[in-house]
Structure 1
Amino acid sequence: MMAELANCPRCHGLFMKGSASVCQNCLKQEERDFQTVYAFMRKKQNRTANVMEIVEGTGVDEVTIRGFVKVKRLHPAQFPEVTYDCEKCGAQIRDGRLCESCTNEIQDGVRKQEELEQLGERNRKDDMGRVTYYSAKQDND
């Protein structure tokens, strides 16, 4: 796998994109931010803090904190008030990529599509058994 030249999504500087999606400086900053947040959350009185309280207590921005939860660096089981956004509607979730409502909506859509496909297949099979014959009427005039 060859690294490619890219702009860092955080600082917009150039870097060789490999296994990391940000430059080395931003990667180091992200790790410092994580250590700051984790040290804050390990204190007993902060374990039930929500994201905004963590932002206020650490100075680390909300997007970064929610990113730590999303990639499971901060586990919701340990910190019950820490959430991130559903990728479809933005609702606050603790696990997965979609909230329950969006998951159900997608599953319903898939179910309906499968039913339509099955109905279409039955109709095609029914049509295959029928043969229509046409005759031409001849005028003897």
Structure 2
Amino acid sequence: MSIRVTGRIALDEAEIEEDFLRASGPGGQNVNKVETAVQLRFAAMASPNLSDAVKARLATLAGRRMTKDGVLVITAQRHRMRERNREDALERLLALIRDAATPPPPPRKATKPTLGSKVRRLEGKARRGATKRLRGARDID
């Protein structure tokens, strides 16, 4: 079965590996005996469903969550229920891939200010200078 990420990208469920571990933090008596935290592993660099450009952007966006082998590791332990943590981890993975799939904006082209904007700027400077000159001490005869 495949998971739809974008219009062009769909991941195979077999590519995603889940491990369950004990969550840290408060949780009462359950915290020491129930493995509710989810560690999701996705071999991004080995995935045939991602283009090279998406893989490169994904590695940049993932940062420390990407291992040297190109495996993306997402740990979810916000919720007290295992199923909610699974959904959270999967949604975070899909959001990260969606961000990587959107192309970066085109680079900004440097432009020069127009003649009109230069003139307006200089007129404003002259007006402010004149105002400040009027505030100065006056010569009294």
TM-score bracket, normalised by the shorter chain, equals under 0.3
Determine which structure has greater relative contact order: mean sequence separation of CA pairs < 8 Å that are 6+ residues apart, divided by chain length.
2
Q: TM-score, normalised by structure 2?
A: 0.24
Q: TM-score, normalised by structure 1?
A: 0.24
Greater fraction of residues in strand? 2
Greater fraction of residues in helix? 1
